A and B are shown apart, each in its own frame.
Chain A
Amino acid sequence: AQTVTQSQPEMSVQEAETVTLSCTYDTSESDYYLFWYKQPPSRQMILVIRQEAYKQQNATENRFSVNFQKAAKSFSLKISDSQLGDAAMYFCAYISGGTYKYIFGTGTRLKVLA
């Protein structure tokens, strides 16, 4: 069975600094997709960034980028120039091709210090 592990329950970063959130996953599939979602206190999950397993190039969205290490089954999120609005729960999620469900990690709470 596929699993997603986020080993950092909580992280802190100074405003304008860079922080990296970790995620590892386990799967025997070759066709899958990985995501980072942000959940602020408003509770709505917001898509931050997406990575397709067959693409070697790491995805980037403005200040957000990933380090996708397929062999190591690692998918970390780097947030550059952290802003107060980045404070939230961050969830790593996995979905394999041909299936319907996301498998989420347990989340990392990010605190941004002014």
Chain B
Amino acid sequence: ETGVTQSPTHLIKTRGQQVTLRCSSQSGHNTVSWYQQALGQGPQFIFQYYREEENGRGNFPPRFSGLQFPNYSSELNVNALELDDSALYLCASSSGGGYYGYTFGSGTRLTVV
């Protein structure tokens, strides 16, 4: 098992720019979820992909979008970056739903200036 890997580990962007974060899910996992963790807070659910389709979304605006590829890797795209988008973005994978637990990556720390 290779676990969940995310890239890049750190990123600095300017307000208004666009960013793409990447995630390789654990071998055998077909479900990927993305979470935003602001400093000092618990993670907040952004959305989930199952077999390349978005099948759940949290309270995030449409400028947060994603993709899942046939190999179950995933991307999180954020357009028109705002200062409040500065956070740790965590990717988590599982086989099916998260009822048995997710395998998380180490996250991408995004700073918007």
Chain A interfacial positions (CB closer than 8 Å to B): 4, 33, 35, 37, 42-47, 50, 91, 93, 95, 97, 99-107
CB-defined A-B contacts under 8 Å, sample of 15 = A35-B101, A44-B107, A45-B102, A46-B104, A47-B101, A93-B42, A95-B98, A95-B99, A100-B33, A101-B33, A101-B56, A104-B43, A104-B44, A105-B42, A106-B42
Q: Which 5 A-B pairs have the closest CB atoms?
A: A100-B56, A104-B42, A101-B45, A45-B104, A47-B101
Most A-side CB within 10 Å, residue of B44, B55, B92, B102: B102
A45-B90, A101-B45 given; 7 more Cβ-contact pairs under 8 Å: A43-B106, A43-B107, A43-B109, A46-B104, A47-B101, A100-B97, A104-B43
**Assembly CA distance A95 to B109 (angstroms):** 25
How many chain-B residues does the 8 Å CB contact rule pick out?
27
Residue of A nearest to B43 (CB): A104
Task: Give Cα A95–Cα B45 distance, bound, in whole angstroms.
Answer: 11
B105 close to chain A: CB less than 8 A: yes
User: Footprint of A on B, CB under 8 Å?
Assistant: 33, 35, 40-45, 48, 55-56, 58, 88, 90, 92, 97-107, 109
Shortest beta-carbon distance, A45 to chain B, in Å? 4
List chain A residues, Cβ under 8 A from B88.
Answer: 43
CB <8 Å contact, B104 and A44: yes
Residue among A4, A45, A46, A93 with most chain B CB within 10 A: A45
Q: Please give, as numbers and ranges, the residues of chain B lying within 8 Å of A4 by CB-CB distance.
A: 42
Q: Which B residue's beta carbon lies closest to that of A50?
A: B101
Q: How far is the CA of A105 from the CA of B41 in the complex (A)?
A: 8
The docked-state distance in angstroms from the alpha carbon of A91 to that of B88 is 15
Task: Tell me which residues across on chain A come within 8 A of B103, comparing CB atoms.
Answer: 47
Q: Which residues of B contact A46 (CB under 8 A)?
A: 104
